């Protein structure tokens, strides 16, 4: 499906009842969130850099020191910032090491941040699964809630995969 040429975001238009557009809400006033129709229209993420770049790490197989061979950067989506309205993107610079004894390559451990080959942090995954399993939200509503409340966009099918992989959703 082709993206229309017209703007696809709905913006809040200031009215006298909403404070005249001075950026302040009065008591009991509501300002609707911006609605996005296309993923491409989402605001650019705030880049948060982390480093896991080591000169040497012990080999996970033989525990011998393995020198750094290469350096890579991995990007994962994290819970965003409501104040700025922008999602957070973790850019993790990490080292790859080569063990000459085992003749194997391995990366610096990032398992505390995200699963191997994952695009989202453990924090985002746990939050998404909790919205469905504990709060009972449908997958689409959970996806919208993650964006509205935490500024992280997760497709509803991805949330469904996470929930079903945990075997916790009962029909």
Query: Tokens 């941040």, residue?
Result: 113
Q: What would the pLDDT profile of 32-69 be if each residue is shown by its tens digit?
A: 666 667 777 778 889 999 999 999 999 999 999 999 99
Is 21 a residue whose pLDDT tops 80? no
pTM (predicted TM-score): 0.73
pLDDT at 44: 87
In the chain, where the domains are located: 32-166
Q: What would the pLDDT profile of 89-132 be if each residue is shown by its tens digit?
A: 999 999 999 999 999 999 999 999 999 999 999 999 999 999 99
Q: What is the Cα–Cα distance from 166 to 137, expressed in whole angstroms?
A: 16
pLDDT: which is higher, 37 or 169: 37
């Amino acid at each position: 499906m082709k993206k229309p040429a017209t703007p696809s975001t709905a913006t809040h238009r200031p009215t006298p009842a909403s404070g005249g557009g001075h950026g302040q809400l009065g008591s009991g006033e509501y300002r609707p969130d911006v609605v996005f129709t296309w993923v491409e229209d989402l605001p650019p993420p705030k880049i948060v850099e982390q480093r896991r770049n080591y000169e040497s790490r012990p080999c996970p197989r033989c525990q011998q020191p393995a020198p750094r061979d290469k350096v890579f950067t991995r990007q994962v989506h994290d819970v965003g910032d409501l104040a700025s309205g922008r999602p957070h993107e973790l850019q993790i610079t990490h080292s790859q090491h080569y063990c000459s004894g085992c003749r194997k390559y391995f990366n610096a451990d990032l398992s505390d941040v995200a699963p191997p080959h994952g695009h989202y942090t453990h924090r985002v995954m746990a939050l998404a699964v909790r919205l469905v399993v504990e709060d009972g939200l449908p997958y689409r509503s959970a996806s919208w809630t993650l964006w509205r409340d935490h500024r992280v966009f997760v497709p509803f099918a991805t949330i469904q995969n996470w929930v079903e992989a945990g075997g916790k959703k009962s029909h």
